[in-house]
């Protein structure tokens, strides 16, 4: 008899990481922005070690600046950076093409972090979920200017059936087991 495993758990070969709008003029205003940046950086480093593709969005970079150095400096060389004007990245052609490419390659678990939780993260996640993707919001790697706005977004994600995970949940689900070289490299990120 074949064993069944939970389809709700993240699988690295089915995952892609989306980093939303962690930009120079936004991050200083985000509540607990340093902690959000740290958690997102850990996700990016783990994605790089585990060959999970990464796409980054920048909302109106002419006005809001580019991705903060603490994030940009950790991105894999093949990470796509998509400039957008739409609040939902899913409504941007270049981003949608990246997601379509991921899905065509069997990557239908979209792991999302970034800012602001109640605007661009929320709208992107809602649209991706409506398109049939398994969306996983990394709650400790998301932020808003006001904590109440993040709280409202988290409640709405739940109402929409969007999975909420932490950075460590994502990492250990991607890893699946201890005792490997990958485990040693990734577990160092959270010490």
- pLDDT of 2 over the 80 cut: no
What integer is the mean pLDDT of 134-146? Answer: 98
CATH number, domain 12-190, options 3.40.470.10, 3.40.50.850, 3.40.50.1220, 3.30.1490.20: 3.40.50.850
Candidates 91, 151, 102; CA nearest to 124 is: 91
Give residue 1's pLDDT: 64
For the ranges 12-16, 116-120, 170-174, 183-187, the lowest mean pLDDT is seen at: 183-187
Give the model confidence (pLDDT) of 154-172 as tens digits.
999 999 999 999 999 999 9
Domain residue spans in the chain? 12-190
Distance (Å, whole) CA 150 – CA 104: 32
For the ranges 136-140, 141-145, 184-188, the lowest mean pLDDT is seen at: 184-188
Q: Which of 108, 113, 120, 150 is catalytic?
A: 120
The band of 191, judged by pLDDT with boundaries at 50, 70 and 90, is confident
Residue with token string 């495993």: 5
Sheet bearing 80-84, strands edge to edge:
80-84, 54-59, 15-20, 109-115, 134-143, 163-165
- pLDDT of 61 over the 80 cut: yes
Active site residue 84: yes
What integer is the mean pLDDT of 107-133? Answer: 97
Q: Which of 84, 127, 140, 142 is catalytic?
A: 84
- pLDDT of 5 over the 70 cut: yes
What integer is the mean pLDDT of 61-80? Answer: 96
The band of 10, judged by pLDDT with boundaries at 50, 70 and 90, is very high
Give the model confidence (pLDDT) of 22-57 as tens digits.
999 999 999 999 999 999 999 999 999 999 999 999
Give residue 88's pLDDT: 98
Active site residue 120: yes
What integer is the mean pLDDT of 68-91? Answer: 97
């Amino acid at each position: 008899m074949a064993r069944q495993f939970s389809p709700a758990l993240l699988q690295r070969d089915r995952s892609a990481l989306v980093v939303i709008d962690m930009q120079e003029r936004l991050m200083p205003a985000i509540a607990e922005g340093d902690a959000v940046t740290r958690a997102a950086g850990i996700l990016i480093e783990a994605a790089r070690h585990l060959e999970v593709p990464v796409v980054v969005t920048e909302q109106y970079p002419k006005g809001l600046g580019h991705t903060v150095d603490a994030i940009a400096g950790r991105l894999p060389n093949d990470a796509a950076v998509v400039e957008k004007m739409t609040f939902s990245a899913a409504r941007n052609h270049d981003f949608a093409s990246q997601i379509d490419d991921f899905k065509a390659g069997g990557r239908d678990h979209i792991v999302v972090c970034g800012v602001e939780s109640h605007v661009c993260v929320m709208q992107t996640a809602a649209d991706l979920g409506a398109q049939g993707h398994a969306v996983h919001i990394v709650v400790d790697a998301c932020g808003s200017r006001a904590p109440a706005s993040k709280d409202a977004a988290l409640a709405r994600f739940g109402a929409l059936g969007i999975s909420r995970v932490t950075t460590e949940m994502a990492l250990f689900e991607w890893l699946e087991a201890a005792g490997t070289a990958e485990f040693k490299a990734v577990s160092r990120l959270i010490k």
